[in-house]
Structure 1
Amino acid sequence: MKTVSFTQMKNGTKDDYDLLAEAEKPYQAGTADRILEELRRQGEDTLSGYQITRLEHGLQSATRAHREGADIDWVVGALLHDVGDGLAPQNHDRFSAEVIRPFVREEVAWVVEHHGIFQMVYYAHHYGWDANARDRFKGNIYFKSCSDFCERWDQASFDPAYANELLSFFEPMVRDVFARKAYDPDVLRAGVVVGLPEKT
């Protein structure tokens, strides 16, 4: 395999960096594969103290989103909102958001990034923490989207009896999202609030 000539980046030539740009293309194209593999790995880990695995929680969240008629960004965002749990348990929400941020609507990435603090409304009082910590974001255009996401799809998805779809059902959606051009303004739609589908 051809390699660059430098041992310090500052000494790299244009040929070196052209080589790297080409070499990175297949790696970037494999992003969906690595994400799906991480989800499968999460299926082997029971959430400590919970009745289901991390994968099952993501599948339940995504299934609820899909069954309510949410678009692909919401469904994939719901599936992957906790994908960072394994490597970044203290800031998994921000970690997960960075995984999807280049490929989904800004609204969805913001919701995934902030869902951790929004979820505190359900349990923080048991620890003597501020259950209303999310109120600092009340002026944000995505506040309601995040509140709804947590109420309808996240906090409700820890049920071992819930008949969720399998990962194979969502795999084509994951592949479609991660095949998008990164940071495409037509995908990111900065400042656009779609919100969750109306409940019927």
Structure 2
Amino acid sequence: MSKEYKASWTAFESATQADWEAVSDYEAQFNAGLVDRLLQQFKVLDEESTPYPINRYQHSLQAATRALNDDAAEEMIIAALLHDIGDVVAPYNHGEVAAAILKPYVSEKTYWIVKHHPVFQGHYYNHYLGGDRNARENYRDSPHYEDCIYFCQHYDQCAFDPCFDSKPLEFFEPMLRRVFVKNCGHMELNERFEG
């Protein structure tokens, strides 16, 4: 159906089969632009002034490059790239937001690591801020516990080196597009609405 189609219903209960087919077509076209929207949001992390040695944009590129250099799986490289993208809209639960973005496209392990990385990352600094640096111990029973420690130790906490030779965002874009197509394909409309 064309983009010019406009449904006449004002509530789902009065929509027709034709209406839902039009909505489904529209959703498929809109969702095809997801990676472009993610790239735009990612660029918001390129702050001009920050007390960190490098900004979050450069930090994320460095984390992804470290994962690449470690021969990590492609989805883990993309997870390292996008792990802080939630900072843009949810600074106090950014891991959950980044994980939710990735969830339909990555393994349960990768999703879990991104979701919980802020707690595990806190091991390196929570004691300076009055928090519990051992809060990650609450997740010791998870099968992904050691993997999350590894992610934080080798890709995240060490990715603030201004002299590190990070790959540019353009290098990761084809990977990003592959990951966001590979595991999802075309979700059915009811799956998109049910989450």
TM-score in same-fold range (> 0.5): yes
Once residues 137 and 85 of structure 2 are traced to their aligned partners in structure 1, the CA distance between those partners, rounded to angstroms, is: 25
* Count of matched residue pairs: 183
Is 1:152 paired with 2:160?
no
Match of 2:52 among 50, 63, 72: 50
1:174 aligned to 2:180?
A: no
Q: Is the 8 A contact 2:106 2:183 kept in 1?
A: no
Do 1:47 and 1:54's aligned partners in 2 also have CA atoms closer than 8 Å? no
Task: Look up the equivalent residue of 2:100 and give its one-letter code.
Answer: E
Alignment of 1:189-200 (within 5 A): none
Which residue is 2:126 aligned to?
124
Q: Kindly tell me: are residues 47 and 95 of structure 1, through their superposed partners in 2, closer, same or farther at Cα, counting changes over 3 Å?
A: farther
- Residue 35 of structure 1 aligns with which residue? 38
Separation of aligned partners in 2, 1:170 and 1:143: 27
Match of 1:115 among 93, 114, 117: 117
Shift of 1:173: 0.1
Conserved in 2, the CA contact under 8 Å of 1:51 and 1:159?
Answer: yes
Deviations 1:121-165 (A, max 9, x none): 111111221111111110100000000000000000111111111
Residue aligned with 1:116, SS: helix
Q: Answer yes or no: is 1:26 the counterpart of 2:57.
A: no
* C-alpha contact (below 8 Å) 2:44/2:88 kept by paired residues: no
Q: Distance in 2 between matches of 1:183 and 1:132?
A: 39
Q: In percent, how many aligned pairs have the same letter? A: 37
Change (3 A) 1:154 1:38: same
Distance in 2 of aligned mates of 1:130 and 1:16: 52
Shift of 1:180: 2.3
Contact 2:62–2:164, Cα closer than 8 Å, also in 1: yes
CA positional deviation for 1:34? 0.9
- Aligned-residue offset at 1:12: 1.6
2:5 equivalent to 1:2: yes
TM-score (norm 2): 0.89
**Offset of 1:11 from its aligned partner?**
2.0
CA distance in 2, matches of 1:78, 1:54: 12
